[in-house]
Amino acid sequence: MNASNKCTVLAKQITVRRVGGQCLKAAREHSKERGIPVNAVWVEALERGLGVSEDKPRNGLEALAGDSDFGAEWTGYLEELRQVNPEDWK
């Protein structure tokens, strides 16, 4: 059972007070953009913040990354970059 499932299985209702206006606004925006309840946004944020989510941390730049194919030349260049020279680590 993964950590996220543990949180779901042991789910309890809680009250969180003194949530700042920016946080509330951001949660509502995320909720609307993703078509999920605000509560789901809060639960995901808590799980990520507490380190019990399986989601990888994000820096917000994934929208800029794209998934374009730059061709064989670029793929070959990336493959070259992935090679590790053991002499560099001595």
* Domain ranges within the chain, ordered by starting residue: 1-55
Instruction: Using the predicted structure, report yes or no on whether residue 5 has a pLDDT greater than 60.
Output: no
- For the cut 90, the answer to whether the pLDDT of residue 88 exceeds it is no
Q: Which residue has the tokens 């309840």?
A: 37
Confidence class for position 1, pLDDT limits 50, 70, 90: very low
Nearest Cα neighbor of 51 from 12, 11, 1, 4 is 4
Q: How many residues does the chain have?
A: 90
pTM: 0.50
* pLDDT at residue 51 in the model: 82
The span from the CA of 80 to the CA of 75, in Å, is 9
